[in-house]
Amino acid sequence: EAGVTQFPSHSVIEKGQTVTLRCDPISGHDNLYWYRRVMGKEIKFLLHFVKESKQDESGMPNNRFLAERTGGTYSTLKVQPAELEDSGVYFCASSPQGAKRGGYTFGSGTRLTVV
Amino acid sequence: GDSVTQMEGPVTLSEEAFLTINCTYTATGYPSLFWYVQYPGEGLQLLLKATKADDKGSNKGFEATYRKETTSFHLEKGSVQVSDSAVYFCALSVSGGADGLTFGKGTHLIIQP
């Protein structure tokens, strides 16, 4: 079974540019999550999709961040325009419907550097 | 709100040493507790978990006991190996089903041969 795939693995962009991160969950997993770890800080929850619907987006930092999940399959997280404080590692995770707490599979993350 | 506090590293130990990584939490409800590990170049992996007070989670020689009275979930291993070098994250979840996790800052563990 393929795991959760994220790409790119690294991205370096200039302040003010746009970046789109992609996450391919495990096939058939209804739940998809985005998390972010800013350097030296906690991994923070950003949002949760159930299929194509946003179940909880309370962790999205501001309106420069836009997440979509077309057809309930892969998801994208767009940052537009990027700011220096957006630098960090963005993790995606997925789990099947009815998964027990903690039953997530995480991707290896996208390291975003805004310069 | 919910929060997790864990000792910050890096923690450097010699091979075969005893390991303890402290983790304490505050939660609005009755949480489940987790330890995740991130090996270099890989994603986060669930190492162990405990869902109620006094439960002990264990995996790969690591153990952690859910202590409600001290709101703690310390990670221990009796004899560490170089291959245990990684970043360890303590986390909790207070919602049912597949809701989000609250993480600590992570502890970078370095094991020297």
Percent of chain A at pLDDT > 90 equals: 77
Interface contact B96, partner A, CB < 8 A: yes
Interchain contact B29–A (C-beta under 8 A) = no
The burial class, CB within 10 Å (0-12 / 13-18 / 19+), for B38 is: buried
pLDDT (mean) for B84-91? 96
The model's pLDDT over B60-73, given as tens digits with 9 standing for 90+, comes to 999 999 999 999 99
Of A42, A48, A59, the CB nearest to B104: A42
Size of interface A-B (CB pairs under 8 A): 73
Asked if pLDDT for residue B1 goes beyond 90, the answer is no
* pLDDT level of residue A24 (50, 70, 90 thresholds): very high
End-to-end CA distance of chain A: 37
| Residue B56 contacts A where some CB pair is shorter than 8 Å | no
Strand partners, A66: A78
How many residues in chain A? 115
By CA distance, what is B92's nearest residue in A?
A: A102
- What pLDDT score does B12 carry? 97
- Residue B97 pLDDT level (bands cut at 50, 70, 90): very low
Show residues of chain B in contact with A4, CB under 8 Å: 43
Residue A13's CB: how many other CB atoms inside 10 A? 17
What backbone phi and psi angles, to 5 degrees, belong to A86?
-80, -10
Instruction: State how far residue B113 is from chain A, nearest Cα, in angstroms.
Output: 26
B27 Cβ under 8 Å from any chain A Cβ: no
Answer whether residue B96 shows pLDDT above 60.
Answer: no
Q: Quick one: pLDDT at residue A97? A: 82
Phi first, then psi, for residue A72 (nearest 5°) are: 70, 20
| pLDDT value of position B94 | 80
What average pLDDT does chain A have?
92
- Give per-residue pLDDT as tens, A35-73: 999 987 889 999 999 999 999 898 999 999 999 998 889
pLDDT in tens, B7-58: 888 999 999 999 999 999 999 888 999 999 999 888 889 999 999 999 999 9
Interchain pair B98, A104: CB under 8 A: yes
Burial A58-96 (b: 16+ CB within 10 A, else e): ebbeeeebebebeeeeebebebeebeeebbbbbbbbbbe
**pLDDT for res A104:** 84
Res A1: pLDDT: 62
Question: Strand order of the sheet with strand A65-68?
Answer: A5-7, A19-24, A75-79, A65-68
- Confirm or reject contact between B35 and chain A (CB < 8 A): no
**Could you tell me which chain B residue has the CA closest to the CA of A6?**
B43
A-chain residues within 8 Å CB-CB of B96?
101
Whether omega for the bond prior to residue A25 falls within 30 degrees of 0, making it cis, is no
